[in-house]
Amino acid sequence: MDTANISIELHDSVKENLLFNSLSELEISKTTIFKYGILNEEVPKKIKENDFEYLESKIPFLYGLYSDFVELKAGKIISLADGEVSKRLSETIGVGVGLFYTTKLLKVNPNIIKRIPSPKTQKGKYLDFKFTKENVEYEVETKGTVYHSKLNSIIEDVQGKKRDSKTTGCKYGVITLANKEEDKKPSKIVICDDLNNKRSNKIYFLNDYFEYYNLFLSFILDSTYYNRLVAQIDRGRLRRNVIKTNNIKGEYIYNGVKYKGQYFDRRLVLDYIANYYSVDIKLNVLFKLLTNQLGRQKYFLGLDPKIIDYLNNKDVIGLRKYSQERAFIEESKKRLIRDIDGVIFVSSKSGGDNQIEKNFGENEVKERLSYILGSITNTPHECGAPCRSKEKEGKPCEKLTFREHCHFHRN
Ligand SMILES: [Zn+2]
Cβ proximity of 79 and 70 under 8 Å? yes
Residue type, 383: C
Distance 409 CA to ligand 1 centre (A): 5
Cβ proximity of 338 and 327 under 8 Å: yes
CA of 399 to the centre of ligand 1 (A): 5
290: CA distance to ligand 1 center in Å? 20
> How many angstroms is it from 119 CA to the middle of ligand 1?
25
Percent of the chain with pLDDT over 90: 58
Name the DSSP letter for residue 261: E
Q: How far is the CA of 318 from the centre of ligand 1 (A)?
A: 43
How many A from CA of 155 to the centre of ligand 1? Answer: 30
Q: Which of 308-312, 396-400, 403-407 has the lowest mean pLDDT?
A: 403-407
Burial 3-14 (b: 16+ CB within 10 A, else e): ebebebebbebb
Which residues partner with 111 through β-bridges? Answer: none
Output 391 or 222, whichever has higher pLDDT. Answer: 222
- Cα(159) to ligand 1 centroid in Å equals 32
State in Å: Cα 121 to ligand 1 middle: 22
Q: What is the pLDDT of residue 165?
A: 63
Give the pLDDT confidence score for residue 124 in this predicted structure.
41
Q: What is the pLDDT of residues 49-67, one digit of tens each?
A: 767 778 888 899 999 988 8
d(CA 85, ligand 1 centre) in Å:
10
> Separation of 54 CA from ligand 1 center, angstroms?
14
User: For the chain, how far is it from start to end, CA to CA, in angstroms?
Assistant: 31
CA of 384 relative to ligand 1 center, distance in Å: 6
pTM of the model: 0.85
Distance 29 CA to ligand 1 centre (A): 28
CA atoms of 215 and 310, how far apart (whole Å): 17
More confident residue, 166 or 136: 136
Question: Exposed (0-12), middle (13-18) or buried (19+): which is 221, by Cβ within 10 Å?
Answer: buried
CA 307 to centroid of ligand 1, rounded, Å? 37
Ligand 1 centroid distance, CA of 410 (Å): 8
Å from CA of 387 to ligand 1 middle: 7
Per-residue pLDDT tens digits for 101-128 = 999 999 999 999 998 876 665 444 344 8
- Which pLDDT score is estimated for 126? 41
What distance in angstroms lies between residue 385's CA and the mean position of ligand 1's atoms? 5
Nearest to 94 by CA among 187, 219, 215: 187
Rounded to the nearest angstrom, the distance between the alpha carbon of 330 and the centre of ligand 1 is 32
- pLDDT above 90: residue 169: no
Ligand 1 centre distance from Cα of residue 71 (Å):
24
